[in-house]
Structure 1
Amino acid sequence: MRNLSIQMKMIIGVICFTLLIVSLERYQFSENIVEQFIASQKSKNRLLIDTISPVISLNASLGLSDANKEYLDRIVEQNDDILSLTLRDNDGKMVYSYVKNNEVHFPARADEIHYFMKRIVDPVTEEYYGKADIYFDDHEYQAVIHKNRVITLQIFIVTFVLLIGFIFLIKREFRYLQKLTENVLTYDPQLNNFRLAKSDRKDEVGIIHNAVVALVEKIDSYAKLLHETNHSLEEKVALRTKELQDANRQLKELSVTDPLTQLSNRRHFETHLHDVWLLAKRSHLEISVIMCDIDYFKTVNDQFGHLMGDVVLKEIAAILTASLKRSSDFVARYGGEEFIIVLYDTKITAAEELCRTIQNRLKETGSFEYQGVKTEPITMSFGISNMIPSKNNVEEDLIKFADLALYKAKEDGRNRIVLSMD
């Protein structure tokens, strides 16, 4: 190393330094991209199976195996990255199976990007109904890895090209120093052939210093080019991250929304009731809960078919939503043909008045129509409970008393409003 010229030492040093910085920066950036993608993909897949498991357990507890099959068919139809989805009951018997195609190759890595297993447990009774297995394909993951490799290779190619150009510039800038060296080596005191102006160490260091400054300026220009390249990559990653965030937000909305009626689902209702209960308990305000059920809905399905039943459910959901008066009023599909309404800071008489409003709107609507076929006029039965939260009661009491009142309304002949006085 001592025998190398200053020129070669500088060239070797710059090459090693540049390659080290570029390698470290690119490695760290690539790792961040892959980690962000893996985290987003895991979150998306985990959210999907956490979303479908309560629905599966609810259908299983109600004995609605066909509903589970229809629901899972819809899930795989909406999620193109699912390779296979199987559902087994607690005896290990296959209840549902889906494979994307016969030529599918399952990913070798069984991590949360490619594979999920979820035990199906009733959230209320904690009864075990079976388990669901989902395999996801990894083409997006492989695409991210491939793209990172391609971009890394491109960056290194650009770096090598720029370094070659840089070496050419360095050699050109060192011509004066070489000329100075040649003059010194060929200097003969006798001939007095040193034709350069008198110089000392200060002049020589100044020349080297200016060359180094030029080198630094060139490196800075290359660094800017690399920075612009990285910035472009960051923009692409940010765009992809935003797309994943939008997808996750849509999945979150789907997890709390009933897909047919577009009302909140039972899971969202339970969360909302818990929040309202705590708020009313702190403020010592009363809560009213209305549990309502479509009368003779099974007859509608049997006589006109499930498509007509879906029309009735959606129309009644719209009527319930339109009947609410305040932004704090909340309505959800509780299950099947049952709906539930939560009224914060509302007396039981006001809840009864809302039920009558709904009855009048149903009466004005009359029958429901699908493809030219009309139903008989549809009515609903209502059960109302009301209480002020305290240490002596729990939020489940509101549901229990409203359910008992609804049962009483059904028993008394339907199309009735029954108030729970407990």
Structure 2
Amino acid sequence: MNAFISFLENRFMPVAGRIAEQKHLQAVRDGIILALPLLIIGSLFLILGFLPIPGYNEFMAGVFGEKWLSKLLYPVNATFDIMAIIVSFGVAYRLAEKYKVDPLASGAISLAAFLLATPYVVKFTPEGATEAVDVGGAIPVALMGSQGLFVAMILALLSTEIYRKIIQKNIVIKLPDGVPPSVARSFVALIPAFFVILTVWLIRMIIEVTPFESVHNIVSKILASPLNALGGTLIGAIVAVILVHLLWSAGIHGAAIVGGVMGPIWLSLMDQNRIAFQAGQEPPNVITQQFFDLWIYAGGSGATLAMVILMLTIAKSEQMKSIGRVSIAPGLFNINEPVTFGMPVVMNPILIIPFILAPVVLVIVTYLAMASGLVAKPSGIAVPWTTPPIISGYLATGGKISGSILQLINFFISMAIYYPFFRMWDQQKFAEEKGDSASLSA
């Protein structure tokens, strides 16, 4: 175990620290976070549209008319279907902030680049026709949502890199000092914006003469599809969870780093489930962002809510009891920094083992339960990660009690895994306290 701690300190932490500070990963993570409030708001309307109450649909139809559901879901479409647009702006904005160039201009240019790379053609089947026809001049809604996420992120990073390099080389139009600052900034962005638009336009022109036809097709076939396939598997979920908790064990925010890479994949899989759920179909994916947030990380990374309950119920040492009292309130809302840094779990050779083992076991149990049909899959409803267990499992499965029952089972599994290691650590702390009190009385 000493060798493992030495590895974390000397080999793992330096590399992980450099990854954590990587500007582009941070920008992707923060840009996606910009879309989350909208997704949560849209999910509230999605919940209202599919409340599992007998007679609910008939009641709503009687009060608001037969088309009540389609009208209620307007905000769902208005929030989920612009996910890529928000991320395009957000990623560019956050990256520009890190480079200390105008983030507002960078976000606007990124959005223009994304729309430029997107073909304005949609398929439409006229009434009475047997085949769909291409309709030009229409922005495809599907590519503005989760399907366009990867293109939006890639072009946001590319456009911001071009923008900041030209700005930093001072290839800009400067107006006299008397010009209002907002007008002056818009002219400063003129040349960089031209080069971004020119670059993306040339890329589109080149790709259109290839069999791929568009940037979206290239990214989907070469990048997005393989990553979605890997990220949606049991093996991919286990690897992600191990990396998250290895990073946390070294004192680095593992969920933020791994989420920066895997977050777009899990968000896309979540939206596929949302579309299926909204259409009254079985959600296709087990692995989504909610899979981890609500069934694996009860109490926060490491599923530490079980350990907090152990502190409150069986702890002998005053230190553990005190940490338990401090940690229970945030733990119920899946916040566990008081545990990870207060016990501590970080760099602790005893507690690192269950801290990594418990989530891995929960991933396997949860995946098998959902894939086998014993438990409902996540419905695509973006339940906030701070929602307490039991409630969140019910909401995230679209009102299925099996989601809550699985959360309860996972809680007891994690408690069983933590128990022997916690007892060992608690007895060690208790012995230290007894030794201190004995030395004081002497």
**TM > 0.5:** no
User: Which structure's CA Rg is the greater one?
Assistant: 1
Between Structure 1 and Structure 2, the one with more strand by share is: 1
The one of the two structures with greater contact order (alpha-carbon pairs below 8 A, sep at least 6) is 2
Between Structure 1 and Structure 2, the one with more helix by share is: 2
- Give the structure-1-normalised TM-score: 0.27
- Give the structure-2-normalised TM-score: 0.27
